[in-house]
Structure 1
Amino acid sequence: MARFCVKCGRENVELIGPLCIDCYLETKELVDTPREIKGKICKICGSEWAEGRWIKHRDLTVSPVESVIYREMSKRIKLDPNIEEFNYSITNQYSDPNGHSFIDIEFKGRIKGKEFRVIKTISLKVDKVVCPDCIKKKSKYYEAIIQLRSKTEGSLSPEKKNVFESFFDREAIENLSDIAEGKEGVDYYFIKKSVARRIVSAFTSSVKDVKVIETYQDETIRNGKKFAKLVISVRI
């Protein structure tokens, strides 16, 4: 008995269940996506709120909003089990007359060697706020100071300053809330103590004959816990 597609009646063709491949592609929902994507990004630095914390935006090939979209899609998309190859891309972002935002996403793939293409329109709600780190930067908040000084009498040379700053990676630069240059040297103000300590540790691991002293200032009590600014004196 010949096998045939129950929809179009074609015989002696490859079937997926009761349907030929063409009818399967035509009638089945190959890609199931969320109707709406929600997110939150910092309008200053582009950080994204995800998994209960702020994540710095690192991929410069996509915008912060696109990063939210791709992150949510990777978690919530459902694919037909017969899909062999698959990729997708954002083809359009727009707003309706009422100000509601939408995206069009194009999905491409193969089932049994046959190509398919699907476009889905998804509602987009991405709130643009100011993250805590940027609020702290704007207010010049800091938890640690690195005081860079010369071991010998006189001012700090530009060469020594440049060597020290060469150890500043992207995280360190983003964590800086202020820099104060004076006759004796430079003070670097950091939002987080851990970042300041990491920079000094990396510097002293590579540069010898450096004197480092840690002290604390402006001690206060918050919610029953002691808190103080960390001051790291680095003499080179």
Structure 2
Amino acid sequence: MARKFCVLCGREEGEFIGSLCVDCYIKTKEIVSLPESIKGKYCKLCGAEWVNGKWIRSKDKTLTPVESIIYREIGKKIEVDPNVEEISYHIENIWKDVNGHTFVTLNIEGKIRGKPFTLTKVVDLNIERTLCTSCIRKKSRYYEAIIQLRFKEGKFDAKKRTVFESFFTDDIIDSLSDVVEGKEGVDYYFINKTVAKRLVSNFTSMVKDVKIMESYQDETIRNGKKFAKLVISVRV
């Protein structure tokens, strides 16, 4: 029976993958393949990322938007040799060349047949800093709805305002384009009327003796459809 040996180094002992020992397999094969370039965009004001045709906020606050884009795209596009048993990767550094172009260096670690390996890969970055739809609307003071917080006593009540604002979640805060405080109360301008209505619904489900009135203003017709600003009066 012919003895098996590595066709590159001549080793006769240990495990083999095809005609190569594990060490030579790791040295000569493309164990991990990454995309040449990573593309993406994020909002330079709020950090939202453009994913599958819409703006989303990453839940991982430990990563910058650029890092989040890199990990997401690598996770989708990485190709790994079927003999790899374990693999992990992390960003080593993000840097620019003399022409100002940005790259990321990634450190990759893993095992093949119990033998550890380490690789370093450099990937071109084409990530755009822009403004998301929400931030564009905020900057232009765009709004679809106003919640007018008013007080039954007829004068400003800071405690009742605090109770109302305790119902503000992150998505409600993100939808605010302006807040105007007056003698009679506070006007909250929302870029999304659905968010405004949900806030009022949550508030009235928990706080009793609240008077709600809805009306519309600035009605227009565009392409045969009627558009108007929603005004919700909340009297507490």
TM-score class, shorter-chain normalisation, is over 0.9
Equivalent runs, 1:9-158 vs 2, <5 Å: 9-150=10-151, 152-158=152-158
How far apart are 1:178 and its partner, in Å? 0.5
CA offsets 1:79-129 (integer angstroms, 9 cap, x no match): 111111111111111111111111101111111111111110111111111
Equivalent runs, 1:154-169 vs 2, <5 Å: 154-169=154-169
SS at match of 1:46: coil
SS at match of 1:164: helix
| Counterpart Cα distance in 1 of 2:117 and 2:40 | 29
Q: Which residue matches 1:7?
A: 8
SS at match of 1:13: coil
TM-score, structure 2 normalization: 0.95
Q: Which residue matches 1:191?
A: 191
How far apart are 1:153 and its partner, in Å? 2.9
Name the aligned partner's letter for residue 231 of structure 1: V
RMSD: 1.2
TM-score, structure 1 normalization: 0.95
| Counterpart Cα distance in 1 of 2:107 and 2:19 | 28
| Counterpart Cα distance in 2 of 1:164 and 1:84 | 54
> Are 1:222 and 2:222 an aligned pair?
yes
Name the aligned partner's letter for residue 47 of structure 1: A
How far apart are 1:6 and its partner, in Å? 2.0
Aligned-residue sequence identity (percent) comes to 60
Q: Which residue matches 2:211?
A: 211
Unaligned runs of 5+ residues in structure 2 are none
| Counterpart Cα distance in 2 of 1:83 and 1:213 | 64
| Counterpart Cα distance in 2 of 1:160 and 1:153 | 11
| Counterpart Cα distance in 2 of 1:223 and 1:41 | 32
Name the aligned partner's letter for residue 99 of structure 1: G
SS at match of 2:202: helix
Q: Which residue matches 2:200?
A: 200
Task: Indicate conservation of the 8 Å contact 1:102/1:123, yes or no.
Answer: yes
Q: How many residues align?
A: 235
Name the aligned partner's letter for residue 53 of structure 1: K
How far apart are 1:57 and its partner, in Å? 3.6
How far apart are 1:188 and its partner, in Å? 0.4
